[in-house]
Amino acid sequence: MKIIAGRSLASWYFSWPMLPSRRLRAMTEAVRSLYDRNRQRGDAPWCGLAYDFVCPSMGTYPFQWFWDSCFHAIVLSHFDTNGARTELRSLLAHAQPDGFIAHVTFWQRERFEALLSTYSIAYRTPYLSDCIQPPLLAEAVAAAASGPGGGAFLAEVLPRVRRYYEWLHEVRDPDGDGLIATLQPDESGLDHTPKYDRYLGIERCALPDFTAAWQRVAGPYAAVGRDHRAMFALDRFVVEDVLVNTIYAENARVLAELLQGAGDAVGALQWRRRAQATAAALMAKCYDPSAGLFYDLAGAREEPLRVNTVSSLLPILLPDLPQPAVEGLLTHLTNPAEYGAPFPVPSVAMNEPRYLAPSAESTLVYRGPTWLNTNWYISRGLRRHGRPDLARTIEEGSARLVERGGFREYYDPTTGRGFGASDFSWSGLALDMLARLEEHAA
């Protein structure tokens, strides 16, 4: 790397005040180079298919993760539409006949066997996990379908995308209330979030305790052959998760638009209704008006998990959220004691007893630091609800985090220092947020 007066060219470039368009170009180039470094390409002898995707981070996550790949496709759609489509083709390559799509595809697992021993993962096959992740596939497909050739791409992938959402609807909402359920903590993507601590019986905030808790859930599942009905019946970990369902509702809405565009008015109506049903159920069952927050529901008895985390704020994304609920969320979001940090939005309210500032020692995730994927959702919600001022603060803050500290997995909300994996791909969402910031400033 080129060095100017002892500093890298990248840090020099980013630290100068720049015209907005130059700033956006610099961010685009930084993301392009990151994605080139993290790109995985090859042939997989186990299935006879070629793969081509951007992995989350070469050091810790070299495989294809579901929601990461969806975020990557959204980012790629800014500068490499073909790359965005290729990313999703690899993700969809192992969509199962019933619709299920694994949360990790271990395309090149032989090269990383040592790393695999550090993961707690339920396998469907040695190459596919047996879990879901937050379902933002429709949004990713919509982004990748923009531009020339988008219609053909949609025609190619839409049947599998639709089947995936039908599977979620049929298999993951056994009580039919419009809210899909997760069956283990990693299905929310928020693996170690403190909102599950009590439910999982976690006392100490240390990785072995989480691994043991995960085993307590996954062990009995293995004993029943990981059959969905049996797993639900065990009632070990059944969570109607606010973040997962907010993303599900948004994607049901986007799926309806995609179906409408493809001429399937009946399917579009059905998914529009499902989107509304999920949003209504979030409001009716998860919103606590006295707290002004949304809470996950746990177990067959649907006990609210009353922990104030970023999940509780995610429904700001829902376009039809009633105004009192919007106001409630804004009060928390802007409170300096909770989420109004210098580098918002922390993943746990800073005044929660279980809030944990990031440290180089801890590998636990979603217990306090700021993550750019949740920032991406919240800032979009703020624009939908007429608060571009607050959206700008988050978008600007997210871009600055990357400009100062590079693409890290998460950041200290107070100092902005980066932690966790380096060269972490979905932090490239800073590009989408910066583009939005400039689009609305114009």
Count Cβ neighbours within 10 Å for each residue of 385-416 and write b for 16 or more, e otherwise: bebbebbbbbbebbbbbbbbbbbbbbbbbbeb
Which among 262, 299, 56, 303 has a CA at the least distance from the CA of 141?
Answer: 262
Nearer CB in complex with ligand GLC: 189/397: 189
Count Cβ neighbours within 10 Å for each residue of 139-175 and write b for 16 or more, e otherwise: bbbbbbbeeeebeebbeebbebbbbbbbbbbebbbee
Smallest distance from the beta carbon of 1 to ligand GLC, in angstroms?
25
Residue type, 409: E
Measured between its terminal Cα atoms, the distance across the chain in Å is 34
Q: At what angle do helices 372-384 and 242-261 cross, to 10 degrees?
A: 60
Smallest distance from the beta carbon of 249 to ligand GLC, in angstroms?
19
Would you say 70 and 85 are in contact if contact means Cβ atoms under 8 Å apart?
no
Q: Is 365 in the site for ligand GLC (CB under 6 A)?
A: yes
Q: Is 67 in the site for ligand GLC (CB under 6 A)?
A: yes
Q: Near ligand GLC by CB under 6 A, which window of 61-69, 82-90, 239-247, 333-341? A: 61-69
Q: Is 189 in the site for ligand GLC (CB under 6 A)?
A: yes
Q: Is 61 in the site for ligand GLC (CB under 6 A)?
A: yes
Nearer CB in complex with ligand GLC: 210/287: 210
Q: Is 377 in the site for ligand GLC (CB under 6 A)?
A: no
Among 34, 35, 53, 68, binds ligand GLC (CB under 6 A): 68
Residue type, 115: L
Nearer CB in complex with ligand GLC: 61/165: 61
Nearer CB in complex with ligand GLC: 153/210: 210
Among 56, 135, 358, 369, binds ligand GLC (CB under 6 A): 56
Nearer CB in complex with ligand GLC: 191/352: 191
Q: Is 100 in the site for ligand GLC (CB under 6 A)?
A: no
Residue type, 127: Y
Among 166, 191, 352, 396, binds ligand GLC (CB under 6 A): 191
Would you say 79 and 28 are in contact if contact means Cβ atoms under 8 Å apart?
yes
Q: Near ligand GLC by CB under 6 A, which window of 36-44, 65-73, 304-312, 344-352? A: 65-73
What is the residue whose two structure tokens read 């949304």? 294
Smallest distance from the beta carbon of 135 to ligand GLC, in angstroms?
13
Q: Near ligand GLC by CB under 6 A, which window of 62-70, 150-158, 177-185, 196-204? A: 62-70
Pairing of strands 239-240, 297-298: antiparallel
Smallest distance from the beta carbon of 76 to ligand GLC, in angstroms?
16
Q: Is 65 in the site for ligand GLC (CB under 6 A)?
A: yes
Q: Is 187 in the site for ligand GLC (CB under 6 A)?
A: no
Q: Near ligand GLC by CB under 6 A, which window of 63-71, 195-203, 255-263, 287-295? A: 63-71
DSSP sequence for 13-48: HHHS---HHHHHHHHHHHHHHHHHHHEEEEEETTTT
Q: Near ligand GLC by CB under 6 A, which window of 59-67, 142-150, 383-391, 430-438? A: 59-67
Nearer CB in complex with ligand GLC: 178/412: 412
Would you say 239 and 304 are in contact if contact means Cβ atoms under 8 Å apart?
no
Q: Is 241 in the site for ligand GLC (CB under 6 A)?
A: no
Q: CA 344, CA 354: separation in Å to the nearest integer?
A: 18
Count Cβ neighbours within 10 Å for each residue of 253-280 and write b for 16 or more, e otherwise: bbbbebbeebebeebbebbbebbbbbbe
Query: Biggest alpha carbon distance in the chain?
Result: 64
How many residues bind ligand GLC (CB under 6 A)? The answer is: 8
Q: At what angle do helices 137-144 and 242-261 cross, to 10 degrees?
A: 40
Q: Is 75 in the site for ligand GLC (CB under 6 A)?
A: no
Q: Is 83 in the site for ligand GLC (CB under 6 A)?
A: no
Smallest distance from the beta carbon of 433 to ligand GLC, in angstroms?
18
DSSP character for 309?
Answer: B
Smallest distance from the beta carbon of 201 to ligand GLC, in angstroms?
20
Which residues in this chain contact ligand GLC in the complex, by CB under 6 A?
56, 61, 65, 67-68, 189, 191, 365
